Structure 1
Amino acid sequence: MAQDTARQAPVAPATPARGLLPLVLPALVVGVGASLLYLGVSGLATELQHALWENLPDALGVGRYSVLWMLVVLTATGVLVGLVVWKAPGHAGPDPATLGLAGTAPLPYPVLPGLLLAAALMLAGGPSLGPENPILLANAALAVRLGRGAVPRLPGEAWAGLGEAATIGALFGTPFAAALLLSEALAGRPFRGLLWDNVFGPLVAAAAGALTTTLLARPSFDLDVPALDRPRWSDLLSAMAVASAGALLGMTAVYAFPYVHGAFRRLRHPMVALPAGGLVLGLLGALGGRLTLFKGLDEVAVLARAPDAWSAGQFATLAVVKLAALLVAASCGFRGGRIFPSVFIGAALGLCAHALFPAVHPSVGVAAGVLGLLLAVTRHGWMSLFTATVLAPSPAMPALLCIASLPAWLLVTGRPQMQLREDGTAVR
């Protein structure tokens, strides 16, 4: 018995309460501030979007989403963002193709205005990217700069973690997404003490960010697709098939990413690459229609509210065009993230499966399609499962998606990621 006890691994000591309590106030402040920054940038982008796509074309007597207006606005957006990237301090941050969702070194303070302006212009102009990466970078940098000045005893890494967690909470309106991402990050490196001690401060920040966003903006990721009341064996097979198809579709973009990025990189100057990318996005918008513009979260709700309103061919066209738009926007230099457009692509794929095979329940198709796309594009398993689950909430959905994630994960793990090194090669 004594020998068995001696062989047991040492138990990591828990952090005492007096070591965690000093984190609460800084985490609350960072959480509220991160949400306010996110809401401010989003609000500015929304006002600019109304001006560009409604007020201005109405004043000029041009169709709001006509082919001509799509080409003009998206090309002009490329020109404006290119001007910011060219002239702003630090060129509005690093090449977004080289960035993951989190963990980037904090940016210098003078870079942030240009980064946020480029993100707001992108969100308003219609390229298929979301706000997550620029807001994460800005909030992490602000948390480090302001936090270390106020509470020097906390290291910069801790402040950056608070800023990132707060932003994830604010973006999704719940702290659970941040907690899941943190658990993935901590699993890849040694940490001291208990897991819950390590996520205590970031979880407070994420909760504060989520609550602030919820109180001020009332976001919802529930697409209101028909609920799955009682799962059948066929639903499990459908989920596995659609998630695997989503992973394969996402991997086509992943494998094409270095080549498309390299083509735009050869244009050398942002005032050439970004307008060229905007023009290509305008042509793709003309092909796919207005639903393939913007980050995709509002647009996917339009699809989900009427899953039988489009044919399988139309859903397939929306998915492919949006995937191409995501690939171009992420390659040519627009500042933005890839999660929200992937949600649209996955949902369109799942609804295409439902249109082809009515036995595929629409909520299963949507959730499984989003799961597969996100696994391919982000490689964050917990984040992908969480996002897919909240889009089509049902008591039976988490179990279906957990099983469906297994074959999809086998298709993507160990393969290139949708993130590039500085030399243009894919990260694995």
Structure 2
Amino acid sequence: MSTPASASPGVRLLILAAIPAVLIGIGSALILKGVYLLSDLLEPVLWQTLPKVFGATESTPWWIFTVLTVTGALIGAVVWLVPGHAGPDSATTELDGPFPKLMALPSLALVLVLSLAGGVSLGPENPILAINAVLAMTLLGRLKRMPPALLSTLAVAGTIGALFGTPVAAALVFTGAVAGSKLPGSLWDKLFLPLAAAAAGSGTTLLLDGPVFSMGMAPVGQVQPYDLLMATVIAMLAAAIGVLMIWVFPFVHRGFHALRNPLLFTLLGGVVLGVLGMIGGPITLFKGAEQTGELLKNAGHYSTGQLAAIAGIKIVALLVAAGAGFRGGRIFPSVFIGTALGMLGAALVPGLPLPLAVACGVMGFVLAVARDGWIALFIAVAVLGTGDVAVLATLCVIILPTWLVVTKAPGMLIKPKEQFAPAGVRAKTS
């Protein structure tokens, strides 16, 4: 049913409002790029320059342990002592908030750079979304017809576009969000500004870097009934593993935060991550985007046991990093875990196309963590980077039974009653 023309905000208003939306999208991408540049400057110092001084390499077990332990201590000190305390614990926030106060942004940016460069198994999503949303509301808050909620929405859309190098992800995320909103006009009137911000953000990223997740795998081709069945099993098992991880998550979070002081529980988290890194090696470190490409590039070099170990270590690392007070998102490492699970599934099911197995592993695990079918579908297709429309149709079928695995499961989010109030840090910083 179409919306009456009188309900539309009008072409002139949409065009005028698109100007700040595009600026927000470009700014969001540039800030993300700035964070990446800082972490890219620090990372080689930590993993190439310094280890040579001590006769080690980035793969030396004791060096991996040292870097992650020191990273945990530094991040814990910032969360404990620096004004703003790096904002709320990422384990307690969704991608769309709550956001911290302006004074928390410098400390939040600092711990994000340390986390990305130090090899912590978290992505940049939650912190960079918070930084961009708060800056948009602060800098453009006086614009007429642009309330803070709309500005934060545009910043989130622009950042999602920048993170994934395409506005499609933002379009899918915000379709459901704006459909029930009180904004005037039809669905596409409501999507116009978020899509403008997302397009500007993704366009800026593509000009600077290129696609983030696209691995350029071979097209899946025609899917046989047996392949469809086995792929569905892989997706459902990956989702079930994700649900099990999420069920354990509150206990992990509660255990670390029982130490109360951020310096203590984040330092302990760094120690545990260091031990896991010693066992799993460099492939299990960092946010996982580059490591996903490395894993797929060397697919034939891993045994089923190695793939199972890599996935298991990364799952535990994600639990620890998210539960021990580090700031970061869960989507990027979830893509790596889903890829490893998909590769394991392909190794265990002879003849099953590897791209299809990987797509289903990613879709299932991301679906459990993000609890958003659109995001799971988008990332699964984006990882393949094949442009194969047939695989999208196949995944739309497979996601239906997979959703039944996660629909009643809890989300990977710590509710206020499940939190401790760390010493020296206010329980609520937003």
Alignment of 1:294-373 (within 5 A): 294-373=286-365
Instruction: Give the distance between the partners of 2:284 and 2:2, measured in 1 at CA.
Output: 53
Q: Deviations over 1:256-301 (max 9, x none)?
A: 0100000011010011001100000011111111100000010010
Instruction: Give the distance between the partners of 1:242 and 1:21, measured in 2 at CA.
Output: 46
Task: Tell me the residue number matched to 1:403.
Answer: 397
Instruction: Give the distance between the partners of 1:44 and 1:64, measured in 2 at CA.
Output: 19
Task: Tell me the residue number matched to 1:263.
Answer: 255
Q: Deviations over 1:51-74 (max 9, x none)?
A: 101111012212322110111000
Change (3 A) 1:414 1:111: same
Displacement after TM superposition at 1:227 (Å)? 2.4
TM-score, structure 2 as length reference: 0.94
Instruction: Give the distance between the partners of 2:176 and 2:361, measured in 1 at CA.
Output: 22
Could you say what secondary structure the match of 2:418 adopts? coil
Q: Which runs of 5+ in 1 are unaligned?
A: 1-7
In structure 2, give the amino acid aligned to 1:423.
K
Instruction: Give the distance between the partners of 1:366 and 1:305, measured in 2 at CA.
Output: 13
Could you say what secondary structure the match of 2:301 adopts? coil
Alignment of 1:138-157 (within 5 A): 138-149=131-142, 151-157=143-149
Instruction: Give the distance between the partners of 2:204 and 2:381, measured in 1 at CA.
Output: 22
Instruction: Give the distance between the partners of 2:305 and 2:344, measured in 1 at CA.
Output: 7
RMSD between superposed Cα atoms in Å: 1.6
Instruction: Give the distance between the partners of 1:110 and 1:300, measured in 2 at CA.
Output: 35
1:281 matched to 2:273? The reply is yes
1:22 matched to 2:16? The reply is yes
Is the Cα–Cα contact under 8 Å of residues 375 and 412 in structure 1 kept in the other structure?
yes
Is the Cα–Cα contact under 8 Å of residues 307 and 362 in structure 1 kept in the other structure?
no
Instruction: Give the distance between the partners of 1:117 and 1:254, measured in 2 at CA.
Output: 27
In structure 1, give the amino acid aligned to 2:113.
A
Instruction: Give the distance between the partners of 1:254 and 1:59, measured in 2 at CA.
Output: 40
1:35 matched to 2:29? The reply is yes
Task: Tell me the residue number matched to 2:186.
Answer: 194
Equivalent residue for 2:126, pick from 129, 133, 148: 133
1:51 matched to 2:45? The reply is yes
Task: Tell me the residue number matched to 1:119.
Answer: 112
Change (3 A) 1:364 1:193: same
Q: Moved runs in structure 1, 4+ residues, more than 4 A?
A: 8-12, 187-191
Task: Tell me the residue number matched to 2:422.
Answer: none
Displacement after TM superposition at 1:90 (Å)? 1.9
Change (3 A) 1:188 1:304: farther
Instruction: Give the distance between the partners of 1:187 and 1:354, measured in 2 at CA.
Output: 39
Task: Tell me the residue number matched to 2:407.
Answer: 413
Equivalent residue for 1:69, pick from 63, 72, 76: 63
Displacement after TM superposition at 1:10 (Å)? 7.9
Change (3 A) 1:224 1:306: farther
Instruction: Give the distance between the partners of 1:18 and 1:225, measured in 2 at CA.
Output: 43
Could you say what secondary structure the match of 2:141 adopts? helix
Instruction: Give the distance between the partners of 2:360 and 2:392, measured in 1 at CA.
Output: 10
Instruction: Give the distance between the partners of 2:45 and 2:131, measured in 1 at CA.
Output: 26
Alignment of 1:91-240 (within 5 A): 91-102=85-96, 104-149=97-142, 151-187=143-179, 189=181, 191-240=183-232
Displacement after TM superposition at 1:224 (Å)? 2.7
- Alignment: residue pair count: 416
Could you say what secondary structure the match of 1:388 adopts? helix
Change (3 A) 1:410 1:189: farther
Instruction: Give the distance between the partners of 1:50 and 1:381, measured in 2 at CA.
Output: 37
Is the Cα–Cα contact under 8 Å of residues 337 and 365 in structure 2 kept in the other structure?
yes
Q: Which moved more, 1:107-116 or 1:212-221?
A: 212-221
Change (3 A) 1:339 1:188: farther
Percent identical pairs in the alignment equals 45
Q: Deviations over 1:322-354 (max 9, x none)?
A: 011001000001110000000000000000011
Q: Which runs of 5+ in 2 are unaligned?
A: 420-430
In structure 2, give the amino acid aligned to 1:292.
T
In structure 1, give the amino acid aligned to 2:67.
V
Q: Deviations over 1:9-53 (max 9, x none)?
A: 985822211221111110111111100100000111111111101
Equivalent residue for 2:366, pick from 374, 394, 403: 374
Displacement after TM superposition at 1:369 (Å)? 0.3
Task: Tell me the residue number matched to 1:90.
Answer: 84
In structure 2, give the amino acid aligned to 1:38.
L
Change (3 A) 1:233 1:140: same
Could you say what secondary structure the match of 1:63 adopts? coil
Is the Cα–Cα contact under 8 Å of residues 47 and 57 in structure 2 kept in the other structure?
no
